Structure 1
Amino acid sequence: MTDTPARLLKLLSLLQTPREWPGTELAGRLDVTPRTIRRDIDRLRDLGYPVEATRGSVGGYRLVAGSAMPPLLLDDEEAVAIAVGLRAGAGHAIEGVDEASVRALAKLEQVLPSRLRHRVSSLQNATVPLTRGDGSTIDPRTLTAIASAVTGRERLRFAYRSGDGTASQRQAEPYRLVSTGSRWYLVAYDLGREDWRTFRVDRVSDPFATGSRFTPRELPTGSGDAAEFLTRSMARTQPELHLDVTFRAPADFVAARLPATLGAVEPTGEGACRLRAVSADSLEWVALRLALVDCEFEVHGPAHLVEHLGSLGARLTRAASPSSGTGTGTTGGGHE
């Protein structure tokens, strides 16, 4: 193989297989001399790939972990698998899946050949994820379109539906995507309103990068922290909930079932713990999350949360009573 760039790519692809490669085997695979392999290994090291060499009759070359992440070569199956996995995670605002995963998906889909992009979409459309239902489902294509506009500093056009159902067309300078653990938000400068806005991404549709570049403006907070700006914005739009809840279960049990955004629980004795936190989430969402902990609990405050839980409990009791008229039929299809 006389084409040096093509040979280096082929060599790198072989080395990314987790095994040790004797120099003679690499030379045979690439139809070059062992001396050429040594020179190519040096070239890869110059490019930042940490290739380790061992001496002896069973020695060879192996790609090892280095101090920085070098570019990776993926075959078709690997690229499809990673894209499908990233799409599955990005489509639901799961804790720990933040903007970085969406940026990775946007980069990968940008370079996927059309045949692989079609395979990814086919797999995505043929499967339905089983989720907990406490977050909003988002089309990953919406996330990747927004993430690409953020990274490329391109103005974005999109349709938006507000909380009261009002539809509008927006043009904005996208600043950052922020995940709260239950939802995705876009922090952007709205050109029509001439002010900063936060948009729930599950209410965004048909995002389109216009190709018009912009220089990012400074956030009003002055810190450049989009998450801080979002927190302040949410606090202005709805009152904060000052939570005080006692759970009749160990702290580790409760903590594993509560989103981290609600704060940390403190042990108060054997088999009990307490949550004292301030939340900007809706009253209804907090009530649902407390109920999903699946243990006995008592809410000391705020009073309107206690009232809402009482109303919700009465409604659930009525729904479960024999007089509710529930049938014994099935929707068809047993689990196997």
Structure 2
Amino acid sequence: MSRPTARVLALLEILQSGGTRSAADLADTLGVDPRTVRRYVEHLLDLDVPVESVRGTYGGYRLAPGHRVPPLMFSGEEAVAVLLGLLERAGDPEDPTRSDARRAAGSAASKVRRVLPGPLARQVDALLDVAELSSGDAPVPDETRVLLLVAAAARARRPLEVVHTRDGHERARTVRPYGLVAHHGRWYVCGADSRSGEVRTFRLDRLGPVRLGEGTFAVPTGFDARAAVLASLAATPWRHRVSARVRAPVADVVARLPPGLGAVNPDATPGWARVEVRVESLDWVPALLAGLAADLGADLVVEAPDELRERVHALGRRLLDA
């Protein structure tokens, strides 16, 4: 793409952000003189882009109100954020109970995908091909480049050279990425680990420098990345062990909790279900339990830990005050 063409497209992107921009401001942003800005505006008008010229002290250029300008121009981070948000909203395309709003979200995701530049489209395709959402959410990580690189490696069956940081310790290792899973606001990659020789699960936000390694590998037949991640998280020695009892059928409690969150079993008292969860932080647990009890219209007893019981009482007082 020639530099003048790139600047014309940059001008279009600036104008799409809304408002009226002076010729001097646009010239400074684009690194050209005001006369060149006027020439770029003429190029846009030749393309039937309705750029309006506003006269006066606070005049300049703006797009006609209500005008929608294709193509969409996203950075890598923006494209991933938009697509993941739409796909989360769309749900399972095979679900016959999907609402019109969910179908519209799926259609919008397809349209966004079609207008992405080729290299970015291929990266996003790799992510959508290998990613699994275990809890209905698709978080956008701070380091989108790492997410896209890991997805590309998982689809191409290429090993990754990574530096993994945990508890302040950094360890270099080679990981064969079998799959990517989003679970409760975090991304995880699972695969064979060179240091332990076992299948391990790693949080993406704990991976430092990441680069593609040499060669390829094969994923074990029937490997279930989602199940592997959930099993790994369940076995993690979390800081807090949460135990609570809910006066409701086990099936009703399970249906209202995020998949893989913890264990739900019949309690010794008939008509009650016992919920056991291991977590690193209690910050979000009171709201979860309160919402569960409110949704079921059921009694709730927090058994452990004591700190959680105090937090649930504090939440109740705040709700009553509200």
TM range (shorter): 0.3 to 0.5
Instruction: Provide the TM-score with structure 2 as the length reference.
Output: 0.46
Instruction: Provide the TM-score with structure 1 as the length reference.
Output: 0.45
